[in-house]
Chains A and B, each alone.
Chain A
Amino acid sequence: MDLPVEHVLRPTSLDEAVELLGKHPHAVPVAGGTDLVVQLRDGRRAATVLLDLSAAGLASISARNGGVEIGAATTMDAIARSSAVQEVSPALVAAARQVGAWPIQCRATLGGNLANASPAADTAPPLLVAEALVHLVSAAGERRLPVTELFRGPGETCLRPGELIRSVEVPARGSNGAVREGFVKVGPRWEQIISVASLAHRVELAADGSIRQARLAVGSVAPTPLRARAAERFLAGKRPTAAVREEGARRLQADISPIDDVRAPAWYRRLVTAVLLDRALTELIDE
């Protein structure tokens, strides 16, 4: 059945996209549509006009400032196959490979995943620990935002009316070889699931095996994906012993606020997050 949409605007350049969005402020931007089309069909969102960004030149992966700039309309599949992205954010590549299944990955885009702002967005935790920058553009100009400031609530970003995500810049990881990174997502089935809890970690180790700095980001356990600051502060400067890991799991509970929903109860999400942190830290010892 047809979607209840009246017009589809299809700009062929970013400038045209920005201009059209300025003229039609209620137009809803769409690229892969893997979230939006379902929402339109279910009646959870309404849109008379869509702004189809899939031909606006926003799909690209290029080097920038030693890191990588990923166009908002770049698909998960393209990210998963990119050695350039693997270089600066292996966690993002791992996440891209786990969004839905392969056909979804061939449509779903990075910009869409962020703009949809699900608390379970898989690409968010890796970008949070990479401290990526989101480049926004509108008729009023450009601005950029640390990804940590992008999400406001479930399904809500701080994008202003008329604003589009143009790209995401993932900085270089730093030449220090002692950086460990990973992303794990847990759900009630092995593949093609919305996570009940996810964890991305990027940990810089000191020469003596202690944690110089830890960045931890969690998904599906709070109104937005977020950095687990209390746990990070505690772990800094410590060795990942069993006692430290246990206390780290305790501190992590202060960062998160999971709810009971149809997918899982809150208590289970708390346990899973604790286990994921414990495992991420345990791996540091083994290496």
Chain B
Amino acid sequence: MSSTRVSFVLNGEQRTFEVPAGRRLLDLLRDDAGLTGTKEGCGAGECGACTVLLNDLPVPSCLVLAASCEGGEVVTIEGLGGDRSLHPLQRTMVEHGGVQCGFCTPGVVITGAALLEHGVTDPLEQGRRLAGNLCRCTGYTKIFEALKAAPREPGDG
């Protein structure tokens, strides 16, 4: 397998990686960049545990070739909040009990943050768009409560 070089902005920092051609973004993040917050729950794009932001949109990183990220911008759960602060949704997830086993949580928070960023506040529309982030523990109710309670801009509340 030949290697490929890919450069992109990762959590606000310009990075360059040399990885095997068949490397998925998920493995680049976890193994090459050491960012283990993004999880592999199924490897088939069905569970959402691997969701990250790619160019401001949520994507299943287990289906994204690392090479496809060239010139783009990736944000993982580690980079969602500010330098020493939490994204409002991270805060409300803790406050409202939206976290149980935690394995789905990074993916849920990423998609949830994207929902808020894109102004999706209708709970039914939120539910449809979150349908790709499976959670087996919470029954989703407190996740919706956390979404409702989170203000749009980081640092708003």
Give me the interface of A with B, judged by CB distance under 8 Å.
1-8, 10, 30, 32-34, 37-38, 41, 50, 52, 54-55, 77, 97, 100-104, 106-107, 190-192
The 15 listed contacts between A and B (C-beta, < 8 Å) are A1-B43, A3-B65, A8-B4, A33-B64, A37-B24, A37-B45, A37-B62, A37-B64, A50-B21, A55-B71, A101-B128, A103-B57, A107-B59, A107-B60, A192-B131
B48 touching A101 by the CB < 8 A rule?
yes
When C-beta atoms are compared, the residue in chain B nearest to A100 turns out to be B132
Additional 5 contacts, C-beta under 8 A, given A7-B2, A103-B48, A106-B59: A50-B65, A100-B45, A103-B57, A106-B57, A107-B63
Could you say which residues of chain A place their CB within 8 Å of the CB of B57? Answer: 77, 103, 106
* Alpha-carbon separation in the docked complex, A103 to B132 (Å): 7
Does B129 sit at the interface, judged by CB under 8 A? Answer: yes
Q: Choose from B21, B46, B65 the contact partner of A33 (Cβ within 8 Å).
A: B65
Min distance, Cβ B65 to any Cβ of chain A, angstroms: 6
Binary flags per residue of B1-40, CB closer than 8 Å to A gives 1, else 0: 1101000000000000000111110010000000000000
What is the CB-to-nearest-CB distance from B92 to chain A, in angstroms, rounded to a whole number?
20
Q: Is there an interface contact between A38 and B63, defined as CB atoms closer than 8 Å?
A: yes
Q: Give chain A residues whose Cβ lies under 8 Å from the Cβ of B23.
A: 2-3
The answer on a CB contact under 8 Å between A102 and B111 is yes
How far is it, in angstroms, between the C-alpha of A10 and the C-alpha of B5 when the chains are bound?
11
**A77 to B133 alpha-carbon distance, docked (Å):** 17
Q: Are B65 and A103 in contact (CB under 8 A)?
A: no
Main DSSP-derived SS at the A contact region: loop
Q: Which residues of B contact A32 (CB under 8 A)?
A: 63
Q: Say yes or no: A34 contacts B45, CB within 8 Å.
A: yes
Q: Which residues of A contact B111 (CB under 8 A)?
A: 102-103
Is B44 a contact of A10 with CB atoms below 8 Å? no
B residues in contact with A30, CB < 8 Å: 65
Inter-chain CA distance A192–B132, complex, in Å, is: 7
Is A101 within 8 A of B132, CB to CB? yes
Question: What residues of B have a CB within 8 angstroms of the CB of A38 in the complex?
Answer: 44-45, 63
A33–B27 Cα gap in the complex (Å)?
16
Please tell me which one of the listed residues B1, B62, B71 contacts residue A6 in the complex, with CB atoms under 8 A apart. Answer: B1
Whole-angstrom distance between the Cβ of B147 and the nearest chain A Cβ: 14
Closest CB-CB distance, A74 to chain B, in whole Å? Answer: 13
Q: Name the CB-closest residue of B to A106.
A: B57
Partner pick for A37 among B65, B71, B130, B132, CB 8 A cutoff: B65
- Which chain A residue shows the least CB distance to B63? A37
